Structure 1
Amino acid sequence: MDWPAAWPLLLIAAFAAGVLNAVAGGGSFLTFPALVYAGVPPIVANATSALAVSPGYLGSTLGFRPELRALPSRRLIREAIIAAIGGVGGALLLLLTPAPLFAGIVPWLLLLATVLFAVGPWLARKAAVQKPAGEGQASHWLRDAGLFIVAVYGGYFNGGLGILLMALYTLAGESRITTVNALKNLNSLVLSWLSVAAFVVAGAVAWAPGLLMMVGATAGGYFGAKWSRRLPVVAVRAVVIITGVVMTVVFFARR
């Protein structure tokens, strides 16, 4: 299929991906298949998909400015640095190793992330009741280590990144879904933009469809951030879990 004929499909997929990334994560599940359907080779489609959804993180991060301003700036800077290093590392790993080697692990990671997010609030309540003295510092380092691992994954393969980040922050004890979303989008923005820079340097991006989809994803991310704040917490969590289940089934089927 000639990609200019697929403009409407690419724009709709990018807008929906921006909304989904702002609310629940998993937008790459929409952009990657749309690019492949438009005739972009799979490896280039993966890099171009990362380019397409990266501005959506900017729009949704701007939509969560009140939540981010309420958090300590030192924490935001530290986590952004960790996400940046992990994102670049993941991008380099993708460029230097065969994609099938990691693709076989992706469905299991998505399944694990979905389960962790589903049981996250219960685990957080148990941890709050039973947390011994001095555990806060240990939890701090465990969260940073988890963020680095997720950032490496996000730099390598963007699909399901939002779900993994939301599972990580939920398990780390973040009780407000809007704060979880704000941190997810900020760190996704940092690691995605740096990993995309690596893909651009390597010449692995299809610019014409990528730039078109960037516009749609940015608009979708901004409106998705606003809509997610108005939705009940139960509804937002349901979207995340359903998205995780669907993505897990699809990636297992692709194996």
Structure 2
Amino acid sequence: MRIEDMGLLAGAGLLGGLCNAIAGGGTFFTFPALLAAGLSPVTAGATSAVAIWAGHAASLIGEGAVLRQELGARPGRVALFALASAGGAALLLASGDALFRQMIPWLLLFATLLFAAGPALNRWLARREVSVPPGIAGLAEGIVAVYGGYFGAGLGVLLLALLTLTGGENLSRLNVVKNALATLATSIAVLIFAFGGAVAWEPAVLVFLGAAAGGVLGGRLARRVSPRALRVAVVGLGLLLSWHYA
């Protein structure tokens, strides 16, 4: 691997980890960098999922009691979510590079719009009492899980919006459940990608190390950097990337 590609991947991981620690949106840095380093679209998507997995898992540290109470009350739905996530990851591997390449600009645009609208959407949903039938809620969770296994950018926004509709009003507890489901989807996808031979491990390590450093840096800068300003910058990047890959 060329030294400039190594620097690109580590730098993208650093920026992605920093953004995830403050406002989210790290995939907008890691996925395009892996494509720019010469990885095929499917391999770039799988490798990006592996590289950012630890960030999802780390968000659950110290939340064991909440997880046992919240997820223990819905074992069937959690199992279906896991199964749908596996289906999404398998779908990425089966779709191949040609189809996934055509999907990239639309997936990035969808994730960008989700990322931009996320805070306002969740505030709007939290102010309204909406009754969602269990069947529709389960179907929606399945669709979101498939998306999480297939691509995953903006997954947290989708999950929090869905949980706000179906899971109650305690936002802090819903956020823990959201992180747990995102971690579950990513973990299953990572396993499938790894056993499917779709992961480029050397680039994954470089992005992972950069993301770990970025997460630490982001935690220290969280009070100094405006999440809103960072969100605007990430949305601008997402729109630019959507146009670039179209």
Equivalent residue number for residue 55 of structure 1: 54
> Which residues of 2 match residues 34-45 of structure 1 at below 5 A?
34-45=33-44
* CA positional deviation for 1:19: 3.7
Equivalent residue number for residue 110 of structure 1: 111
Equivalent residue number for residue 238 of structure 2: 247
Which stretches of structure 1, 4 residues or longer, exceed 6 Å deviation after superposition?
Answer: 225-228
Go from structure 1 to structure 2 and tell me whether the alpha carbon gap of 1:253 and 1:36 turns closer, same or farther (over 3 Å shift). closer
Q: Deviations over 1:196-237 (max 9, x none)?
A: 211122211111111232233345456757876x699xx656
2: CA distance between counterparts of 1:45 and 1:58? 21
Contact 1:18-1:57 at 8 Å conserved across structures: no
2: CA distance between counterparts of 1:239 and 1:180? 24
Contact 2:86-2:188 at 8 Å conserved across structures: yes
Structure 1 counterpart SS, 2:60: helix
2: CA distance between counterparts of 1:185 and 1:231? 24
1: CA distance between counterparts of 2:136 and 2:21? 25
Go from structure 1 to structure 2 and tell me whether the alpha carbon gap of 1:195 and 1:208 turns closer, same or farther (over 3 Å shift). same
1: CA distance between counterparts of 2:161 and 2:231? 10
* CA positional deviation for 1:75: 4.1
* CA positional deviation for 1:152: 0.7
Find out whether 1:217 has 2:211 as its counterpart.
yes
Report the identity percentage: 33
1: CA distance between counterparts of 2:23 and 2:68? 21
Runs of at least 5 residues in structure 1 that lack an aligned partner in the other structure = none
- Which one-letter code corresponds to 2:242 in the other structure? F
Query: So what's the TM-score if we normalise by structure 1?
Result: 0.74
Query: So what's the TM-score if we normalise by structure 2?
Result: 0.76
Equivalent residue number for residue 86 of structure 1: 84
2: CA distance between counterparts of 1:170 and 1:242? 26
How large is the Cα RMSD of the aligned pairs? 3.6
Go from structure 1 to structure 2 and tell me whether the alpha carbon gap of 1:144 and 1:209 turns closer, same or farther (over 3 Å shift). same
Equivalent residue number for residue 46 of structure 1: 45
Runs of at least 5 residues in structure 2 that lack an aligned partner in the other structure = none
Equivalent residue number for residue 21 of structure 1: 20
Go from structure 1 to structure 2 and tell me whether the alpha carbon gap of 1:184 and 1:247 turns closer, same or farther (over 3 Å shift). farther
1: CA distance between counterparts of 2:66 and 2:227? 19
Contact 2:67-2:176 at 8 Å conserved across structures: no
